Structure 1
């Protein structure tokens, strides 16, 4: 009996759906002024109210099941109109409140309607509205996700175009800057990071990590590298950038010199790659091009440096692996400590005389004096080139003879 009364009530309201939609739209418009809902045209809002009311009332009459697709389409439309989801939800609450008031007003015209029927009608109506609202929110989220994916694809394509050094006219450069969220003029820098495996990011969440420090950036993943264009708003940003990179890098990372014009990004990428190769192989070294002239010089011409290594360090490279690494590590520590045997000894946990003995063996084997500027320069460049080149697995040699 109650179900028939609900069906009859819904049928009567369905005959007035046009007028109810107008009133509902007006109520929503009046109650949503502070919720950015004015971007929705009046005719469109009224049509949406007519769709929702008709959908719910036909379901209450028992004619058809509720059509959630219509709600999903409206949710998508609001997302495309950039109406915030809280504003959409506010409009729905206002609309549902009006709907229930309309049901109560119609019910009071019929003296035979009892409280049991109103309870049943309320229950049925809220079930319907829950389904409609859920479909609307789902459609809204789907549209937002699609737009974000499309925007990310656009950003990725623009980053790739800039990194490849494609020529851009002024309008294209302005558009690229707008989409990437950076100014047209820099300074900028390019970051090149080795990936741990093909298709794996070297610096996951790099953009978010930098954004927390107020640094804007855009990134692109290639099979062998992850590349980023970073806007350096202040001189301190470069320090913050390198700090973040050193905290999170697990492979080599290179940072290009700064540049002012986005159209020079391709050129900066070449410098970033050279700086990346300037770091020690199989390490998380972060090499800033302008801060590491010896490293980038050694990485700039790998084929030339391979011959330099053979010429300068060939006698050391010919030693068993243990002896070779012991001497090269000692030479590396000596350079890092500014040519101080005492400081190098502290780093290596040996006596300073042990360091001097190893350095003497290096000088004897290579024919380069560690007191002659030319010999020091040649050894430094050759050592950098060795460190930058990944070593294939080799048999382990003894280290007993290196200090003898």
Structure 2
């Protein structure tokens, strides 16, 4: 449009900008700051510069938009880094546009502009607002992507620090957790996952810290005894996974070791698939972890059983284990095995013939239970 029209309006630019600022602060609480504050001064300066730049770009062909676009890209990025929605900025721009339209209409009448000039300047205003709004949106999206990348970077560093053995310092874990936006819990459990090669990793809630690239994929689960933990792990449905024991965050690596031990037992058929809780299978995991020692003890302590036929051993081993776990109560042992009491008593007499007093010796009860459990689960 002809520059003479802009020259007629230039004396009113600051007044228009101040009206825009006042209305924005009145209607958008997030932008309302004390008049003398640094934030308020910068805001007023930005609005005045924008109004002045509008007159520049609509009256001078080839005007340089770049400074204004960079400014609004920075404003959009600032909103993203503050965690704000872009809606506040877009609302402020719309309100400023309405104020400008009202003033243009009034000035066109006062200065006796041709109707075509008012139409041109109004169309130029909306195009201008669209342009700077798009610049702000691009800055906002770029900053959010950068923040997401930074956050994911710190989440990975935090996850790896939790797996350090020897453990990372509590201060390092706290600092990384703060940068990652992750609250350090009192305890964690690590969930090891059997993920088929052809299956994509499931999408899990952000509370979990996953490593799907590990040789045995795993997830760090905060506060494993807290409410809603089954919901957090719902994405693992259909997979075999093992939840390690709850540990302080600095001992998460130990939780992972037990979870992997449980997965190994599941792969060998010693534990059922699905979601395995290590604390429900302590004897099996202890025996599996010390398999060399346990196998040697089985060969020594349970030698009479190993000399029997498979059929006889298959009957006597569960009977011995059920009897010991039932506190030497033949009735309870019979109920657990689903057989008649007389059957249990007959088998017990045969067991006493094989082991003598050793079978009922209190000093050997715990060891016998563990070794018998190994024969049942891990053989």
Same fold (TM over 0.5): yes
CA contact (8 A) 1:245 1:286 kept: no
* Other structure's SS at 1:193 match: strand
CA contact (8 A) 2:167 2:251 kept: no
2:219 maps to which residue?
227
CA contact (8 A) 1:257 1:288 kept: no
1:57 maps to which residue?
55
CA contact (8 A) 1:246 1:285 kept: no
CA contact (8 A) 1:294 1:384 kept: no
Which of 242, 246, 264 matches 1:277?
Answer: 264
- Taking structure 1 as reference, are residues 42 and 243 closer, same or farther at Cα in structure 2, changes over 3 Å only? closer
Report matched runs for 1:4-403 at 5 Å. Answer: 6-8=1-3, 11-12=6-7, 15-16=10-11, 19=14, 22-23=17-18, 26-28=21-23, 30-32=25-27, 34-36=29-31, 38=33, 41-64=39-62, 67=66, 69-70=69-70, 71-114=72-115, 116-165=116-165, 167-169=167-169, 171-179=171-179, 186-197=185-196, 203-207=202-206, 216-223=207-214, 224-232=216-224, 237=226, 240-242=228-230, 245=233, 248-249=236-237, 250-259=239-248, 262-280=249-267, 283-289=273-279, 291-301=280-290, 377-378=370-371, 380-385=373-378
* Other structure's SS at 1:228 match: strand
Q: TM-score, structure 1 length as denominator?
A: 0.63
CA contact (8 A) 1:32 1:90 kept: no
- Taking structure 1 as reference, are residues 55 and 91 closer, same or farther at Cα in structure 2, changes over 3 Å only? same
- Taking structure 1 as reference, are residues 110 and 14 closer, same or farther at Cα in structure 2, changes over 3 Å only? closer
- Taking structure 1 as reference, are residues 85 and 52 closer, same or farther at Cα in structure 2, changes over 3 Å only? same
C-alpha displacement of 1:143? 1.0
> Greater CA deviation, 270-279 or 91-100?
270-279
Q: Supply the distance in 2 between the matched residues of 1:118 and 1:136 (Cα, whole angstroms).
A: 27
Q: Supply the distance in 1 between the matched residues of 2:146 and 2:19 (Cα, whole angstroms).
A: 30
C-alpha displacement of 1:126? 1.4
C-alpha displacement of 1:33? 5.2
C-alpha displacement of 1:161? 0.7
Q: Supply the distance in 2 between the matched residues of 1:15 and 1:127 (Cα, whole angstroms).
A: 20
Q: TM-score, structure 2 length as denominator?
A: 0.67
* Other structure's SS at 1:187 match: coil
* Other structure's SS at 1:152 match: helix
C-alpha displacement of 1:300? 1.7
- Taking structure 1 as reference, are residues 256 and 119 closer, same or farther at Cα in structure 2, changes over 3 Å only? same
- Taking structure 1 as reference, are residues 19 and 182 closer, same or farther at Cα in structure 2, changes over 3 Å only? closer
1:401 maps to which residue?
none
User: Aligned residues, how many?
Assistant: 339
Gaps of at least 5 residues in structure 2 are 327-331, 348-353
- Taking structure 1 as reference, are residues 12 and 341 closer, same or farther at Cα in structure 2, changes over 3 Å only? farther
- Taking structure 1 as reference, are residues 80 and 150 closer, same or farther at Cα in structure 2, changes over 3 Å only? same
CA contact (8 A) 1:253 1:279 kept: no
* Other structure's SS at 1:64 match: coil
**Structure possessing the higher radius of gyration over alpha carbons:** 2
> Greater CA deviation, 157-166 or 37-46?
37-46
CA contact (8 A) 1:193 1:227 kept: yes
C-alpha displacement of 1:27? 2.5
**Deviations along 1:308-358, whole A, 9 cap, x unmatched?**
99999xx9xxx9xxxxxxx9xxx8xx99xx99899889xxxxxx99xx9xx
- Taking structure 1 as reference, are residues 247 and 344 closer, same or farther at Cα in structure 2, changes over 3 Å only? farther
CA contact (8 A) 2:93 2:129 kept: no
Q: Supply the distance in 2 between the matched residues of 1:230 and 1:106 (Cα, whole angstroms).
A: 63
